[in-house]
Amino acid sequence: MRQVSDVKESYEIGSKSNIDQPNQELPEDVLPDFRSFLMYFHWECHHTAETILSAMALGIGLSDENHFRPTNPGHNNQLRLLHYPPVPVADVEQHLSTEMGAHSDRGSIIMLFQDDCGGLQIEDPHNPGVFINVPPPKDEVVMNVGDLMIRWVNDALKSTVHRVTLPPKQDRFTGDEHMTRARYSVPHFVSPEGQSVVECLPSCADEKPPAKYKPIE
Ligand SMILES: O=C(O)CCC(=O)C(=O)O
Ligand SMILES: [Fe+2]
């Protein structure tokens, strides 16, 4: 079997109340204000996520727009800083390395901030195996539905399979060595509390379609 390596570096932080995954703090004198800014940004992202979750609750027909708040209070969220360092374009074209392989994210919803490099793709839900470019929107956030949310809503929403690959051809490399440009992205993963039971919402299941997934904790 040929090994395909994912080439990236990441740093993650979450709520200080998450004692199962304590933050690995950088010393304050190494990057002054880094910690406090990241904590501020983490909670700003969560507040925006709460608004999105409220819109989703109304969109799927719940009468309580705050339905997802008690199970998603933010203490199990993760803010991930991602750096995809330059790699030879030929390695990616020959499938010796990839930026990030195809996957769906686990939690409730995911908000993704990215620079202008491009390379993010989603799988066409109607054509498995066919990937579509998601051009980097300026000053916008890309939002994905996570694997736990689809259990709540009984597949009324889909969790998006996505991957990161080479940017479009005209912008694929820099320099004589044909290296990719460094890419930076910041996903914020919103996940339910560890003790929450994720089970099909009554309004999303009747005989047609019945609940497709068992409750999980
Ligand atoms: O870097 C990106 O644009 C996507 C990151 C991602 O999908 C992830 O970290 O799960
Ligand atoms: Fe992802």
Quick: pLDDT tens for 120-166: 999 998 999 999 999 888 889 999 999 999 999 998 899 999 999 87
List the structure tokens of 205. Answer: 């299941």
- Pocket probe for ligand 1: among 8, 79, 141, 162, the residue whose CB has the most ligand atoms within 8 Å is 162
Structural element, H or E, at residue 56: helix 34-59
How many Å apart are CA 43 and CA 216, to the nearest integer? Answer: 26
Q: Which residue's C-alpha comes closest to atom 1 of ligand 1?
A: 185
The model carries a pTM of 0.90
Token pair, residue 53, equals: 């979750």
| Residue 65 token pair | 């727009």
Query: What's the CA-to-centroid distance between 129 and ligand 1, angstroms?
Result: 18
- The question of ipTM being above 0.90 is answered as yes
Does the domain at 5-9+79-204 match CATH 3.40.50.1980? Answer given as no
Taking the centre of ligand 2 as the mean of its atom positions, its distance from the CA of residue 105, in whole angstroms, is 5
- Shortest-distance atom of ligand 1 to CA 185: 1
Contact 62, 203 (CB under 8 A): yes
Q: Give residue limits of the domains in the chain.
A: 5-9+79-204
